[in-house]
């Protein structure tokens, strides 16, 4: 019996090894491939007033880029001929790192047809109903952005709302819906309120300007329960509503370069002209919510702040590349991401000066000693970074202009 017992032990060992591999693979899928948050943007691409869809596309793209890198994002559009095919379509399938793609694809859409809102919502629910693509471990949400209060192709709006509830229940889903109306007349807003109530969503947000729309979408797509409620399905215990909004923090962007500069990245929009010296003209202030993430860009423009350099040497090459301080990427970075994470909001802030310091400020400057070299040193000081060396300017003819000399 010794031989059979050994073979039996080997078989058990093999089965245990296989089970361990399977369990390991399952753990890998769960912790690595399954996102914490999955968000679908449902965009109203029906015909409407001039400029309306452009604002919707820009705001959705900005919100998508502002989402966390680990979030799974997708975009679906609706709008078309009532009763025809193609009244809704998934434009960008769900996946991580889709922010830039959504922003690009949104701009390429051409608005047309009627507002087939119901078809869009039902299809968006179906997008979450399969085992793959994976649903989010923590939150699954559909953000509906529309210029209409109701479906334009349905006479019985009550029946449509019931069909949506039944679709959610049949799929056994727990979804968060967020509805945003853009330039929806007050007389037509009740329909969107009723649809939101039917899905268990909070009161819709209504925006009248492009800036308001961008701000609303940034707030609603912050990971977490703020501004959202769970759809009640059988066996589901909804999460408690938050007692208050996420805490807001003052933040500033400072532009310390003699060049003209424009900084953008919602909710930021500030600019200064060449050699503008006023403190207020060189910074903008706003608020960021805890957990919010923004991406900033700086564009240099305008004439040289010190035109005498070019006049004295025709081979002079301006040093007008923008560099950032106080960003997630670290000092003297070419890109700037600001995340109001626990580390940033917990650091002390010196509010005694007119310009706040350390964790609540991002600063952009250029290397040129004519106006920005000193600015980079100041940026480092404001954000708590090590001071960079003042740069030398090397002309095309080989001559060197040293700021120390």
Series of mean pLDDT values for 10-residue runs along the chain (405 residues)? 51 43 37 76 94 93 84 94 95 91 93 96 91 82 95 94 89 84 94 91 92 89 47 37 62 86 78 71 80 86 79 75 89 87 73 55 80 74 78 59 53
Strand duo 205-207 + 176-182: pairing: parallel
What token pair was written down for 188? 């037509």
Are 112 and 87 within 8 A, CB to CB? Answer: no
Give the pLDDT confidence score for residue 291 in this predicted structure: 83
In angstroms, the CA 45 to CA 115 distance is: 8
Pairing of strands 322-325, 293-301: unpaired
- How does DSSP classify residue 360? G
DSSP state of 35: -
- How many CB atoms neighbour CB 130 within 10 A? 10
Q: Phi and psi dihedrals of 73, rounded to 5?
A: -125, 150
CB 94 within 8 A of CB 40: yes
Amino acid 350: pLDDT: 55
Phi, psi of 83 (to 5 degrees): 85, -10
The whole-number pLDDT of residue 380 equals 86
Q: Which fold has domain 32-220?
A: Rossmann fold (3.40.50)
Tell me the C-alpha distance between 310 and 114, whole Å: 58
The sign of the dihedral angle between the CA atoms of 106, 110, 111, 112 is negative
Q: What is the dihedral of CA 213, 216, 222, 227, to 10 degrees?
A: -140
User: Hey, what are 229's tokens?
Assistant: 């409620």
Angle at which helices 157-171 and 117-127 cross, to 10°: 0
pLDDT at 400: 62
Q: How far apart (Å, rounded) are the C-alpha atoms in residues 25 and 15?
A: 15
Secondary structure (3-state) at 28 = helix
Q: Contact, 278 vs 238, CB < 8 A?
A: no
Radius of gyration (C-alpha) of the chain in whole angstroms = 27
Three-state secondary-structure class, residue 271:
strand
Sequence spans of domains, the chain: 32-220, 248-401
Vertex 102 angle, CA 149 and 120, to 5°? 35
Distance CA 111, CA 400 (A): 56
Q: Which residues pair with 177 in a beta bridge?
A: 142
Q: Whose CA is closest to 335, among 298, 387, 371, 368?
A: 298
pLDDT at 77: 97
In this structure, what DSSP letter does residue 80 have? B
User: Is the backbone peptide bond immediately before 57 cis, with ω within 30 degrees of 0?
Assistant: no
Ranges of H-type helices in 67-207:
99-108, 117-127, 157-171, 189-198
Tokens, residue 191:
């329909």
């Amino acid at each position: 019996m010794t031989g059979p017992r050994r073979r039996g032990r080997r078989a058990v060992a093999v089965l245990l090894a296989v089970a361990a591999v399977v369990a390991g693979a399952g753990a890998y899928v769960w912790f690595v491939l399954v996102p914490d948050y999955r968000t679908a943007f449902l965009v109203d691409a029906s015909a409407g007033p001039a400029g309306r869809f452009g604002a919707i596309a820009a705001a959705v793209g900005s919100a998508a880029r502002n989402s966390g890198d680990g979030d799974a994002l997708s975009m679906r559009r609706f709008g078309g001929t009532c009763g025809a095919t193609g009244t809704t379509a998934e434009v960008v399938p769900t996946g991580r790192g889709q922010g830039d793609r959504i922003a690009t694809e949104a701009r390429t859409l051409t608005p047309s047809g009627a507002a087939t809102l119901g078809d869009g919502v039902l299809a968006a629910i179906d997008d979450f109903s399969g085992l793959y693509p994976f649903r989010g471990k923590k939150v699954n949400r559909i953000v509906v952005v529309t210029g209409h209060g109701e479906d334009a192709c349905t006479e019985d709006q009550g029946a449509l709302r019931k069909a949506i509830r039944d679709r959610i229940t049949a799929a056994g889903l727990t979804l968060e819906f967020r509805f945003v109306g853009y330039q929806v007349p007050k007389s037509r807003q009740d329909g969107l309120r009723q649809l939101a109530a039917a899905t268990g969503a909070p009161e819709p947000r209504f925006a009248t300007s492009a800036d308001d729309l961008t701000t609303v979408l940034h707030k609603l797509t912050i990971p977490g329960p703020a501004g959202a409620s769970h759809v009640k399905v059988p066996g589901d215990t909804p999460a408690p509503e938050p007692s208050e909004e996420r805490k807001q923090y003052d933040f500033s962007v400072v532009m310390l370069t003699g060049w003209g500069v424009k900084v953008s990245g919602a909710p930021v929009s500030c600019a200064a002209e060449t050699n503008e010296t006023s403190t207020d003209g060189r910074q903008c202030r706003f608020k960021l919510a805890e957990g919010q993430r923004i991406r900033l860009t700086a564009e240099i423009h305008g004439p040289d702040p010190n035109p005498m350099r070019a006049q004295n040497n025709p081979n002079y090459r301006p040093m007008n590349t923008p560099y950032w301080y106080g960003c997630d990427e670290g000092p003297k970075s070419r890109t700037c991401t600001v995340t109001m994470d626990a580390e940033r909001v917990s650091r002390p802030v010196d509010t005694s000066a007119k310009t706040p310091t350390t964790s609540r400020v991002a600063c952009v400057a250029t290397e040129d000693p004519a106006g920005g070299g000193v600015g980079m040193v100041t940026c480092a000081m404001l954000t708590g970074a090590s001071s960079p060396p003042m740069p030398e300017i090397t002309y095309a003819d080989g001559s060197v202009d040293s700021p120390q000399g």
